[in-house]
């Protein structure tokens, strides 16, 4: 199902029609020399053609690499040079609320910057903007497929790479995560029923983007291997046209389960705190809400549960794993929900909590979360052309384990609690504190819609926590009052040891397009360090707003 509020378009595509389209595109790619093992880069927005392009590559045994549509030219060039694609499939533009993003000039610039030049490009021309094609290199989507023989499936070995998906590396050089064809499909098919309780014919909607891992696993592949229905949604949780869009889609298509990031629900809650828009829709077929992608604060979970009256299930995984490390297996036996925990490790994942020396910690003690090797099917076998980097990034710190880069603990029932990325654990006068735990306290304040806590450098204590607060729509109380209340709350809930005294109210937080808060960049601004503009940032202007807000507190210290 394609539903695009930004272009006012809706249509449904059957499995038979999808197969015809995919075979046709695959045939055209094959006629131009794309074969098993070749890479094809896909640079498209949330349109069905993006899924067709991925599946056409799979049909030929070509390895696709989807880059989020609208990504900056220099970042796209880095990925072109790493994957060395034979072809690039792109759209002429992406459509956001109130603006069109021109993809083709970004693509042309990226190809110019890249040392590797693709053999040809296929451009899907959208009505909103028809791009200029370069003679001899660029082909239009429909003209390219005209009169070609549809392609049959090319058999591949089980461990043949299905795709490369770039995830941001700490060094700025992106890491190309590889997924094996068979392992991925076996794992995803198992999760559809076991974790999400989806049967063939059910509608499962992941409100994500095809450029992220969730889009690969649960817009493109999971539903289709399982015989379920997937939704390609080109819109936003709020503003297309309002905070009721999610409810409209659930009601209109009989969605059984929704998977999205907590940030989407925080946005909806901020615009419509009493759930007025929800009352207009029939959500009788809706059974479960799944959250992942960042920590789900208990406040957001509680609000969603109260509004929707269905289980709200937090689960935890990474681009690298491709499917859930820890979850609540709704299709096997729903476990009691514990707020703030994604529940327990899934089959195949042996999750341990380790101290800095790699020794296992007792329950309830916070440490590094690691997974004892081997990893289960569907997870990354290595990084594209970077085996040494794969070892140093994931396997070196704790020999015999995969390092997740997350910090947390397990309780006595084996439930896992993810508190922060390892680098979001701050050290205040020798006390290791989780910024995530402080964010939970701030989010519990009735006027706070969303928040972030970062650790800033302090001469005396090493680091100090600093909070950013976004207030609910319609809140007109004095900022000083709210700040003094949240400072008091942290003191009560976490204790004076947190030394939480600094907070500022902001209109919005800087985020990646997938909704992750750019805490690291905010730390650099507060500490007066230079930083590279994050490639995935949704709106760079927000960083200036953060800089202005910090200056009211006297940061960065001169």
**Which residue in the block uniquely carries the two structure tokens 């937090």?**
314
pLDDT at 533 exceeding the cut of 90? no
Number of independent structural domains in the chain: 2
- 500 inside domain: yes
- 169 inside domain: no
Whether 229 contacts 203, CB under 8 Å: yes
Q: Which residues contact 328 (CB under 8 A, 6 or more apart)?
A: 195, 313, 315, 334, 335, 337, 342, 343, 344
The Cα 471–Cα 267 span in angstroms is: 11
Average pLDDT in the 160-176 region? 82
pLDDT at position 164 is 98
The Cα 1–Cα 53 span in angstroms is: 16
Average pLDDT in the 133-159 region? 98
pLDDT at position 432 is 72
- 422 inside domain: no
Residue ending a domain, choose from 135, 156, 177: 156
Confidence of residue 22 (pLDDT cuts 50, 70, 90): very high
pLDDT at position 271 is 94
pLDDT at position 214 is 95
* Pairing mode, strands 312-314 and 232-233: unpaired
pLDDT tens, position by position, 52-75: 999 999 999 999 999 988 788 888
Whether 467 contacts 453, CB under 8 Å: yes
pLDDT at position 169 is 58
Q: With 0-12 CB in 10 A as exposed, 13-18 as middle and 19+ as buried, what is 477?
A: exposed
Is the entire prediction scored with pTM above 0.85?
yes
- 278 inside domain: no
Give 418-456 as a 3 state SS string.
Answer: EEEEHHHEEEECCEEEEHHHHHHHHHCCCCEEEEEEEEE
- Lowest mean pLDDT: which of 68-82, 187-201, 205-219? 68-82
Q: Which residues contact 172 (CB under 8 A, 6 or more apart)?
A: 532
Q: Which two tokens stand for residue 378?
A: 């569907």
190 vs 172, residue with greater confidence: 190
pLDDT at 427 exceeding the cut of 90? no
Residue ending a domain, choose from 156, 182, 206: 156
The Cα 16–Cα 12 span in angstroms is: 12
- 518 inside domain: yes
Q: Which two tokens stand for residue 132?
A: 């200029």
Cα-flanking dihedrals φ and ψ of residue 371, to 5°? -115, 125
pLDDT tens, position by position, 391-401: 999 999 999 99
pLDDT at position 450 is 95
pLDDT at 336 exceeding the cut of 80? yes
- 185 inside domain: no
The Cα 426–Cα 442 span in angstroms is: 17
The Cα 123–Cα 139 span in angstroms is: 6
Q: How many residues does the chain have?
A: 558
The Cα 320–Cα 410 span in angstroms is: 22
pLDDT at position 47 is 98
Cα angle: 472, vertex 339, 504; to 5 degrees: 35
Q: Which two tokens stand for residue 505?
A: 């109210």
Domain membership of residue 442 as a residue range? 429-552
The Cα 121–Cα 202 span in angstroms is: 36
Count of beta carbons in the 10 Å neighbourhood of residue 199: 14
Burial state string for 42-75 with b = 16 or more CB within 10 A and e = fewer than 16: bbbbbbbbbbbbbbbbbbbbbbbbbbbbbbbbeb
Residue ending a domain, choose from 156, 171, 202: 156
pLDDT at position 172 is 58
pLDDT at 523 exceeding the cut of 90? yes
- 310 inside domain: no
- 114 inside domain: yes
**CA-CA-CA-CA torsion for 10, 14, 19, 21, nearest 10 degrees?**
-30
Average pLDDT in the 329-333 region? 98
DSSP 468: E
pLDDT tens, position by position, 446-463: 999 999 999 999 888 889
Whether 439 contacts 295, CB under 8 Å: yes
Confidence of residue 535 (pLDDT cuts 50, 70, 90): confident
Instruction: Please give the mean pLDDT across all residues of the chain.
Output: 94
Q: Which residues contact 126 (CB under 8 A, 6 or more apart)?
A: 7, 47, 91, 92, 93, 95
**Which residue in the block uniquely carries the two structure tokens 């304040």?**
445
pLDDT at 170 exceeding the cut of 60? no
pLDDT at 285 exceeding the cut of 90? yes
DSSP 394: I
The Cα 365–Cα 270 span in angstroms is: 34
User: Helices marked H in 254-364 — which ranges?
Assistant: 262-271, 298-308
pLDDT tens, position by position, 480-501: 999 999 999 998 888 788 899 9
Cα-flanking dihedrals φ and ψ of residue 89, to 5°? -110, 120
CATH number for the domain that contains residue 108: 3.40.50.980
pLDDT at position 513 is 84
pLDDT > 90 fraction of the chain, expressed in percent and rounded: 84
CA 22 to chain centre: 26
| Number of Cα atoms under 13 Å in the Cβ half of residue 449 | 23
Confidence of residue 507 (pLDDT cuts 50, 70, 90): very high
């Amino acid at each position: 199902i394609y539903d695009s509020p930004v272009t006012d378009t809706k249509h449904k595509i059957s499995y038979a029609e999808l197969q015809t389209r995919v075979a046709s595109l695959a045939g055209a790619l094959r006629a131009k020399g794309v074969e098993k093992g070749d890479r094809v880069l896909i640079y498209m927005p949330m349109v069905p053609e993006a899924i067709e392009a991925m599946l056409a590559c799979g049909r030929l045994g070509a390895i696709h690499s989807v880059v989020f549509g609208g990504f900056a030219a220099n970042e796209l060039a880095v990925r072109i040079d790493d994957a060395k694609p034979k072809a690039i499939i792109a759209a002429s533009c992406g459509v956001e609320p109130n603006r069109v993003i021109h993809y083709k000039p970004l693509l042309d610039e990226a190809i110019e910057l890249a040392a590797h030049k693709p053999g040809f490009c296929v451009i899907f021309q959208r009505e909103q903007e028809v791009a200029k094609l370069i003679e001899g290199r660029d082909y239009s989507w429909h003209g390219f497929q005209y009169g070609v023989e549809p392609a049959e499936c090319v058999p591949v070995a089980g461990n043949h790479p299905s795709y490369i998906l770039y995830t941001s590396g700490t060094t700025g050089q992106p890491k190309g995560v590889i997924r094996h064809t068979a392992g991925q499909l076996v794992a995803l098919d198992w999760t559809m029923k076991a974790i999400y309780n989806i049967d063939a014919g059910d509608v499962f909607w992941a409100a994500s983007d095809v450029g992220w891992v969730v889009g690969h696993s649960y817009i493109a592949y999971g539903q289709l291997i399982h015989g379920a229905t997937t939704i390609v949604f080109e819109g936003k949780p709020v503003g297309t046209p309002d905070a009721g869009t999610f409810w409209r889609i659930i009601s209109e298509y009989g969605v059984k389960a929704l998977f999205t990031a907590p940030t989407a629900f925080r946005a909806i809650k901020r615009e419509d705190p009493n759930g007025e828009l929800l009352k207009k829709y029939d959500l009788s077929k809706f059974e479960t809400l799944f959250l992942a992608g960042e920590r789900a604060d208990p406040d957001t979970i509680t609000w969603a549960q109260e509004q929707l009256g269905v289980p709200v299930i937090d689960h935890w995984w990474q681009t690298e794993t491709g499917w859930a490390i820890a979850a609540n297996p709704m299709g096997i036996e729903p476990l009691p929900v514990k707020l703030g925990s994604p529940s327990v490790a899934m089959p195949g994942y042996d999750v341990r909590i380790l101290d800095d020396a790699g020794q296992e910690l007792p329950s309830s003690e916070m440490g590094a979360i690691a997974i004892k090797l081997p990893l289960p099917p569907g997870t990354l076998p290595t990084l594209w052309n970077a085996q040494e980097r794969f070892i140093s990034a994931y396997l070196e710190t704790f020999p015999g384990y995969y390092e997740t880069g997350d910090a947390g603990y397990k309780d006595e029932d084996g439930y896992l609690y993810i508190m922060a990325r390892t680098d979001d654990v701050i050290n205040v006068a020798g006390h290791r504190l989780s910024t995530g735990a402080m964010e939970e306290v701030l989010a519990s304040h009735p006027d706070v819609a969303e928040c972030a806590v970062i650790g800033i450098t302090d001469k005396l204590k090493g680091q100090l926590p600093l909070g950013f607060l976004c207030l609910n729509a319609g809140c007109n109380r004095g900022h000083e009052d709210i700040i003094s209340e949240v400072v008091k709350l942290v003191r009560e809930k976490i204790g004076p040891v947190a030394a939480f005294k600094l907070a500022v109210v902001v209109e919005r937080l800087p985020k990646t397009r997938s909704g992750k808060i750019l805490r690291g960049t905010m730390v650099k601004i507060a500490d007066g360090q230079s930083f590279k503009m994050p490639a995935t940032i949704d709106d760079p202007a927000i960083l200036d707003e953060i800089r202005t807000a910090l200056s009211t507190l006297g940061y960065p210290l001169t």
